[in-house]
């Protein structure tokens, strides 16, 4: 019984905060999603990354292993997703990005924080960064029909990671006043991510429930299995294994819906996958967590 209470205490806060954003939208209140996304991506998340990596003192080697695991899960998931879509005769450009790239940021970071503490968050940041970089390049490229690396150059998280690595390698620290400012700004990242997720889900509409359910199960169960496989392949144990498994098993990222809408790839179909996979995750994530805690 105690393990179920622990799992509930990990999963419930994530969905409750997202629910606040959802109810905010359903009540007719406005949330400037463009401003929130800009604030989270350019200020809050880079500060969260810098603050967490500096305070937890995770080694560069451990972060490198986690980044390699993220690349491996992405490549395997990409291949499996392509095979599944071909077997189902579904459009690859429409669904493959959402099947491959999970919500490693908005949901993955808070979930691993609550489940594994700040050490888990540090390792999760490495996973999230590599996943995000590949999503903005390869994932967007699949949706657009061509890859552009300009988005990566514009991502502040890249520079936050680089700065943290330099400071860790040389054993340096930010001045106390700067460190506290970075910590305060980083503290707004997780609640804003979750509220923005809930707000976005309130506006998404699905078209094909059957296809959405099947592909959502592929995203969640397939990601879970691939995460375990990669963790075993890399010889990961404890927190590192838990982070890889849980991050790999996250639902489809809302970002892939935005790419589908931007490039005219049946955005309502992608919306269905995002909504259904996020809904099913409420019931499956406690089971996934139980296997790694």
Domain limits, the chain: 2-292
pLDDT, greater one: 34 or 285: 285
* Average pLDDT over all residues of the chain: 89
The whole-number pLDDT of residue 37 equals 82
pLDDT digits (tens, 9 = 90+) for 165-213: 888 888 888 999 999 999 999 999 889 888 988 898 888 877 778 899 9
Closest by CA to 158, choosing from 136, 178, 181, is 136
Helix intervals (H) in 89-188: 92-100, 108-134, 140-144, 150-153, 156-170, 176-186
> Exposed, middle or buried: residue 270 (CB in 10 Å: 0-12, 13-18, 19+)?
buried
1, pLDDT greater than 70: no
Tell which CATH architecture fits domain 2-292. Answer: Up-down Bundle (1.20)
Q: Is 19 exposed, middle or buried (0-12, 13-18, 19+ CB in 10 A)?
A: middle
- This prediction's pTM: 0.86
pLDDT digit string (tens) for 90-109?
999 999 999 999 999 888 99
Decide: 54 and 164 in contact? Cβ < 8 Å.
yes
Percentage of the chain modeled with pLDDT above 70: 97
Q: Note the pLDDT tens digit of each residue in 14-33.
A: 899 999 999 999 999 988 87
pLDDT at 233: 96
Q: CA–CA distance from 175 to each of 54, 111, 154, 253 (Å)? A: 12, 30, 26, 36
Place of tokens 């639902």: 251
Contacts of 245 (CB under 8 A, 6+ apart): 224, 227, 228, 231, 288, 291, 292
DSSP 8-state assignment for residue 149: S
Report pLDDT for 106: 84
**Is-contact 269 95, C-beta < 8 A?**
yes
For position 291, what pLDDT does the model report? 92
* 186 CB-near residues (< 8 Å, 6+ apart): 44, 45, 47, 48, 49, 50, 51, 52
pLDDT of 36: 85
Check residue 209 and give its pLDDT: 83
**pLDDT at residue 62 in the model:** 86
The pLDDT of residue 6 is 67
Cβ pair 124, 250 in contact under 8 A: no
Residues 256-275 have pLDDT tens digits of 888 888 888 888 889 889 99
The pair of structure tokens assigned to 6 is: 């622990």
Q: How far apart are CA 14 and CA 255, in angstroms?
A: 18
């Amino acid at each position: 019984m105690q393990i179920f209470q622990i799992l509930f205490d990990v999963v419930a806060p994530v969905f409750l905060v997202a629910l606040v954003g959802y109810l905010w939208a359903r009540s007719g209140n406005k949330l400037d999603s463009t401003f929130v996304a800009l604030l989270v991506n350019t200020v809050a998340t880079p500060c969260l990354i810098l603050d967490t990596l500096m305070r937890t003192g995770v080694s560069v080697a451990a972060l490198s292993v986690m980044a390699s695991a993220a690349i491996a899960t992405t490549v395997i998931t990409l291949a499996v997703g392509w095979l599944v879509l071909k077997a189902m005769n579904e459009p690859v450009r429409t669904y493959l990005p959402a099947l491959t790239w999970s919500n490693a940021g908005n949901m993955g970071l808070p979930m691993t924080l609550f489940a594994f503490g700040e050490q888990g968050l540090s390792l999760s940041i490495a996973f999230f960064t590599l996943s995000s970089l590949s999503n903005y390049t390869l994932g967007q490229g699949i949706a657009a029909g061509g890859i552009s690396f300009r988005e990566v150059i514009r991502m502040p998280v890249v520079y936050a990671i680089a700065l943290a690595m330099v400071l860790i390698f040389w054993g340096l620290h930010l001045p106390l006043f700067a460190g506290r400012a970075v910590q305060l700004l980083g503290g707004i990242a997780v609640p804003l991510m979750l509220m923005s997720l809930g707000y976005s889900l309130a506006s998404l509409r699905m078209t094909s429930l059957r296809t959405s359910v099947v592909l959502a199960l592929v995203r969640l169960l397939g990601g879970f299995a691939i995460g375990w496989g990669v963790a075993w392949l890399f010889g990961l144990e404890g927190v590192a294994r838990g982070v890889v498994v849980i991050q790999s098993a996250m639902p489809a990222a809302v970002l892939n819906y935005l790419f589908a809408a931007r490039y005219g790839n049946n955005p309502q179909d992608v919306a269905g996958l995002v909504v259904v996979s996020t809904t099913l995750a409420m019931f499956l994530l406690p089971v996934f967590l139980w296997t790694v805690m």
